[in-house]
Amino acid sequence: MTKHNGPAPLPALPERKGGRARLAGIHRVLRDRICFFDYPPGALLSEARLAAEFGVSRTPIRQALQRLEFERLVDVRDGIGTIVTGVDFAALRGVYALRLRITEMIGDFSPAAAPDEAVADILGLIDRAMRQRAEPDVRAFWRIENDRHRLINALIGNEALKELHDRLFTQTARVWYGIVENLWAEAIEALTDELVELRRAIRAGDMRAVGLVSRNYVSYSVARFERYFAEHRQPAEPASDTPLTSVDFAS
């Protein structure tokens, strides 16, 4: 299985222009690096070094870090700096519970039918997922997961729900990425099945079904995480009260 070595090859860095596009691009790159563990939990992010890398002042870097803090991916500590947060599945159970409810609501706050390009996009995702059966790549898996999420998120018609749906996904994305190589066959089968069901729902113009399909995939993920961490818990450890950190994921 292909594993990453160093920072991922990322899309071109944001152009040196003002406005939200540049800030959004910087935030997306930093978020991807955190989700890929290129910036592991505990890593200290330097505003000065990031500003030099992106070729911008420290102001947009600070704004991007503030957004990451809002998403609970970093913690800004006085006198220390910006530190990447840990990954604790036990602490994220509440976030997953809210994700389950949120995805059920997608059909209630979305247009009656998805745009035609959504069908083409989902077909492309299915093709990419099918290729992963023969060419396993953890980073490619996450990008499919991320693009699937973005596709669904774009279909939500309510801006408040869209923002919350996106933030909750971002907070939980690292859990899957941290363990997927240990569950590859099951994970890629589940992802492919979900994409096929989403294709049917989108083609039928049934946005309520889109939400339910997505909700079922989140439910599957939670159940699989519970089983995985129960199976890999050390015998001497307490039961479910023990927090699971990135060290557990990398083992």
Q: Domain ranges for the chain, please list them.
A: 20-84, 89-250
Q: What kind of fold does domain 20-84 have according to CATH? A: Arc Repressor Mutant, subunit A (1.10.10)
Q: What percent of the chain has pLDDT over 90?
A: 62
CA separation, residue 121 to residues 71, 132, 173, 231 (Å): 27, 17, 21, 36
Q: What is the pLDDT of residues 172-202, one digit of tens each?
A: 988 988 888 899 999 999 999 999 999 999 9
Residue 168 pLDDT more than 90?
yes
Q: What is the chain's mean pLDDT, rounded?
A: 85
Looking at residue 247, its pLDDT comes to: 31
Q: Which of the four pLDDT bands, split at 50, 70 and 90, describes residue 21? A: confident
Tell me the mean pLDDT in the region 70-90. 91
User: To 10 degrees, the CA torsion angle through 216, 181, 5, 69?
Assistant: 40
Looking at residue 116, its pLDDT comes to: 84
- CATH number (1.20.120.530, 3.30.420.10, 1.10.150.120, 3.40.710.10) of 89-250 reads 1.20.120.530
Q: Which of the four pLDDT bands, split at 50, 70 and 90, describes residue 250? A: very low
Looking at residue 3, its pLDDT comes to: 55
Spatial distance between the Cα atoms of 209 and 214, rounded to a whole number of angstroms: 8
Name which of 3-7, 106-110, 161-165, 170-174 the model is least confident about. 3-7
Is-above-0.85 flag for pTM? Answer: no
